[in-house]
Amino acid sequence: MSIETYLFGIKLQSPFILGSGPLSYGAKGLIRAHNAGAGAVVTKTIRDNPAVNPFPHMAVSGKNSMINAEEWSDIPGSEWVAKEIPEAKKAGVVVIASIGHTPLEAKNWVGKVSKAGADIIELVSYERDTILPMLKKAKLLTKKPVLVKISPNWVDAVGIALEALEAGADGITAIDSIGPVLRIDIKTGKPLIGGGNGFGWLTGSSIKPITLRYVAEISSATDKPVIGLGGVTKAEDAVEMLMAGASAVGICTAPIVKGVEYISKLNVKLEKLITELGYNNSADLSGLSHKYLNSAANNKKFDFIYNPESCTECMACVKACAYEARTLSSKNMSLDTDLCRYCGLCFSVCPNGSLRPDYL
């Protein structure tokens, strides 16, 4: 079994693509991620002027989530073109050049990064109305595949993604960070993030369900690749992302927090998990869930199956029942079916699968 993946006909050593962020700050970062097993690496976003970031601009927020106020690349575009991209290409990295955030900047950089050796272009913008004009410019300047990165902060981001595909985008990256958001240090009352208002952008495991919805909805409507980026921190998340319809899986927060070497662990775990689930490769999983979306079969009443042997009588299922329908005493589980609304929370909170619905 191999986790090799193809994106626009380009062979990736793994379906994991390092998303644009601090680990892809320059050639050294791109090469480190490639050596750690990333299938491809998206550069930090290249713009006309190098970014100046607030102090501090990254903080963890709960388990495997972060907020950040990091701007685009602090390396000039000219250096990316002359040195960083060619160096990464020489080391064998599959390079996706991230270009932001305006049509003029697309005009200034798309052709140059393509000539410098970037394999794929990714367009990103803070403003929904600029992404399509950026795409128009980009398609005139390169024959390389162009990805459009969508932001969940845009009204109708799915609509924009579909318009972009219609207008010639070769694929979609979903999604960018979500915000603005705020966290406060309770000892001082100060925001965790520096700069003007202390606001930042949320990434990591807290945003996974949002990403999954975008990936499922967009990939259901196109045969072009969708890269599912947002909230993947474990191999299980990657499987979920592939099943939602992703062709490849982006990761940014997880390797930032756990170190870039974490990508090699994810590769090993994903390969093992795909085999355990009975599939041959990651492509077998892509879009597997589509048939259950918008389907009447997804709304059937079910029965419960209880396994007293594995039950530890932690009472989580009883406590979680808002309707007091469930009782458990000395491994005797009973359910008042008149009170039960079949909401599913009781088996969802069961830590070891002792209570489950008959369809799982």
Ligand X SMILES: Cc1cc2nc3c(=O)[nH]c(=O)nc-3n(C[C@H](O)[C@H](O)[C@H](O)COP(=O)(O)O)c2cc1C
Closer residue to ligand X, CB minimum distance, 130 or 253: 253
User: Binders of ligand X among 322-351, rule CB under 6 A?
Assistant: none
| Cβ-contact 125, 102 below 8 angstroms | yes
Shortest distance (Å) from residue 96 CB to ligand X: 10
User: Is residue 130 within a helix (H) or strand (E), and if so which, with residue range?
Assistant: helix 128-141
Lookup: tokens for 54:
């607030």
Does the protein bind ligand X through residue 22 (CB under 6 A)?
Answer: yes
Lookup: tokens for 149:
């990165």
Does the protein bind ligand X through residue 47 (CB under 6 A)?
Answer: no
Q: Which of these segments, 19-27, 128-136, 262-270, 327-335, binds ligand X (CB under 6 A)?
A: 19-27
Does the protein bind ligand X through residue 203 (CB under 6 A)?
Answer: yes
Residue with tokens 């991209």: 85
Closer residue to ligand X, CB minimum distance, 165 or 241: 241
Shortest distance (Å) from residue 129 CB to ligand X: 17
Quote the CA–CA distance of 46 and 72 in Å, as a whole number.
7
What is the x/- site pattern for ligand X, positions 146-185, by CB under 6 A? ---x--------------------------xx--------
What is the x/- site pattern for ligand X, positions 53-92, by CB under 6 A? -----x-------x-x-x-x--------------------
Shortest distance (Å) from residue 203 CB to ligand X: 3
Quote the CA–CA distance of 104 and 113 in Å, as a whole number.
15
Please pick, from the candidates 204, 225, 245, 287, the single residue that binds ligand X as defined by CB under 6 A: 204
Q: Which of these segments, 87-95, 202-210, 264-272, 346-354, binds ligand X (CB under 6 A)?
A: 202-210
Quote the CA–CA distance of 250 and 332 in Å, as a whole number.
45
Please pick, from the candidates 231, 249, 282, 333, the single residue that binds ligand X as defined by CB under 6 A: 231
Please pick, from the candidates 97, 99, 165, 232, the single residue that binds ligand X as defined by CB under 6 A: 232
- DSSP 8-state class, residue 193: S
Quote the CA–CA distance of 213 and 230 in Å, as a whole number.
11
Quote the CA–CA distance of 308 and 332 in Å, as a whole number.
8
What is the x/- site pattern for ligand X, positions 96-135, by CB under 6 A? --x-------------------------x-----------
Closer residue to ligand X, CB minimum distance, 178 or 285: 178
Q: Which residues contact 201 (CB under 8 A, 6 or more apart)?
A: 67, 68, 69, 176, 177, 178, 179, 180, 181
User: Is residue 216 within a helix (H) or strand (E), and if so which, with residue range?
Assistant: helix 208-220
Quote the CA–CA distance of 230 and 237 in Å, as a whole number.
10
List of E strands, 133-199: 146-150, 171-174, 178-181
Quote the CA–CA distance of 266 and 269 in Å, as a whole number.
5
Lookup: tokens for 160:
């924009």
Please pick, from the candidates 5, 125, 142, 253, the single residue that binds ligand X as defined by CB under 6 A: 253
Closer residue to ligand X, CB minimum distance, 207 or 218: 207
Shortest distance (Å) from residue 240 CB to ligand X: 13
| Cβ-contact 97, 80 below 8 angstroms | yes
Q: At what angle do helices 128-141 and 103-116 cross, to 10 degrees?
A: 40
Closer residue to ligand X, CB minimum distance, 231 or 346: 231
Quote the CA–CA distance of 148 and 344 in Å, as a whole number.
37
Shortest distance (Å) from residue 60 CB to ligand X: 10
Residue with tokens 């309770």: 186
Closer residue to ligand X, CB minimum distance, 145 or 231: 231
Please pick, from the candidates 20, 219, 282, 289, the single residue that binds ligand X as defined by CB under 6 A: 20
Lookup: tokens for 41:
């690496």
Residues lying near ligand X in the complex (CB under 6 A) are found at 19-22, 44-45, 58, 66, 68, 70, 72, 98, 124, 149, 176-177, 203-204, 207, 229-232, 250-253, 256
